[in-house]
């Protein structure tokens, strides 16, 4: 159980934020304050219908943008722990509006860091993405930069007792804009657009993502990048799971897309530890004794040449497993067409 009494979640009205907030409200009876920080008033209104302050008096709904440093400082007052989930995430939008992505994902990350230090926050966990490993698009590049800012922030905290760490994972099953909801919508037209038949992706559920953030918040030393051990899926298997009778139309890889995603590059693998349910990319700056860290959590160094790639993963989701996950997390009454 996480020891903090007050939390703030940036981007809290997104898919992850709503699940994380619901988990905190359910599991932490001692919770005194939980700040919902996001820029979309409509999404906040909708979230208030699900989590009304009348039933959850510890909730505070703050309209704000991570680009606004003054608003962050105000929102962070009295907060002990922060989960930073706010980002501009759509790859094509970031390619077309590059500096807007930089202002939110990079400058916004630095604003969060400085506000957290100044406000006396004790722990910050930032969400990353598999696209930050060896990035080929602007979104991935901004998230790599953000990851570097958060891990390096442990070296500028001075006397403030604060820790910063990062959680990096792949596609979230059923999240807005992801492939499975898109295919569920498109299947009624009888055609599914496939970018490339060889394409693979990592897969994680919202619940597993929340659990990893909780684990990181409880166990981080500051500067780690936590990477979960999760399965991959093939895009053709997703199409088969959703609509085996639909025609598949090859449309080609979009600008900024990879054939396979990666969460730990071969170079990062030289500085990574392997545990039962996750990996840790160690901070490049030696903030603490890596060997003592490895022993405390019973890990081992990753083998030379190790890389964590969705195309060479050891664990794969079958068509039937994908259908079961869709019923659990997207549509309880789902039947393939």
b (16+ CB within 10 A) / e for 312-328? ebeeebebeebbebbee
Q: Read off the pLDDT of each residue in 174-179 and give the average, rounded to a whole number.
A: 78
For the domain 6-169+204-229+263-307, what is the CATH superfamily, name and number?
Answer: NAD(P)-binding Rossmann-like Domain (3.40.50.720)
Which DSSP category does 154 fall into?
G
Of the pLDDT bands very low, low, confident and very high (cuts 50, 70, 90), residue 253 is: confident
Check if 19 is active-site.
no
Name which of 113, 229, 119, 105 is nearest 165 in CA terms: 113
Is the model's pLDDT at 68 over the cut of 60? yes
Is the model's pLDDT at 265 over the cut of 80? yes
Rounded to whole angstroms, the Cα distance separating 116 from 170 reads: 26
pLDDT at 254: 81
Of the pLDDT bands very low, low, confident and very high (cuts 50, 70, 90), residue 194 is: very high
Catalytic residue among 19, 43, 103, 131: 131
């Amino acid at each position: 159980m996480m020891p903090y009494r007050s939390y703030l979640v940036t981007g809290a009205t997104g898919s992850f934020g709503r699940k994380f907030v619901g988990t905190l409200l359910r599991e932490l009876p001692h919770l005194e304050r939980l700040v919902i920080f996001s820029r979309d008033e409509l999404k906040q209104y909708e979230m208030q219908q699900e989590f009304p302050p009348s039933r959850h008096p510890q909730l505070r709904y703050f309209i704000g943008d991570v680009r606004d440093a003054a608003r962050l400082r105000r929102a962070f007052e009295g907060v002990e722990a922060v989960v930073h989930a706010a980002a501009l995430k759509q790859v094509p939008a970031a390619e077309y509006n590059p500096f807007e992505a930089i202002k939110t994902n990079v400058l916004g990350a630095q604003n969060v860091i400085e506000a957290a230090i100044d406000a006396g926050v004790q722990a910050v966990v930032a969400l990353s993405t598999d696209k930050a490993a060896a990035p080929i698009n602007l979104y991935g590049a901004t998230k790599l930069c953000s990851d570097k800012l958060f891990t390096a922030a442990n070296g500028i905290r001075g006397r403030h007792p604060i820790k910063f760490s990062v959680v990096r994972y792949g596609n979230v099953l059923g999240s807005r804009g992801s492939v499975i909801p898109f295919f569920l919508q498109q299947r009624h037209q009888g055609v599914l657009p496939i970018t490339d038949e060889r394409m693979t992706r990592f897969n994680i559920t919202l619940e597993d993502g929340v659990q990893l953030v909780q684990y990181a918040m409880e166990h981080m030393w500051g500067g780690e990048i936590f990477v979960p051990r999760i399965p991959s899926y093939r895009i053709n298997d997703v199409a088969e799971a959703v609509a085996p009778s639909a025609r598949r139309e090859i449309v080609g890889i979009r600008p900024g897309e990879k054939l396979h995603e990666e969460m730990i590059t071969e170079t990062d693998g030289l500085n990574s530890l392997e545990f039962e349910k996750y990996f840790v990319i160690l901070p490049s700056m030696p903030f603490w004794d890596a060997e003592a860290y490895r022993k405390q959590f019973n890990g081992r160094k990753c083998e030379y040449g190790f890389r964590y790639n969705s195309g060479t993963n050891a664990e794969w989701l079958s068509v039937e497993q994908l259908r079961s996950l869709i019923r659990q997390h997207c549509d309880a009454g789902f039947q393939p067409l």
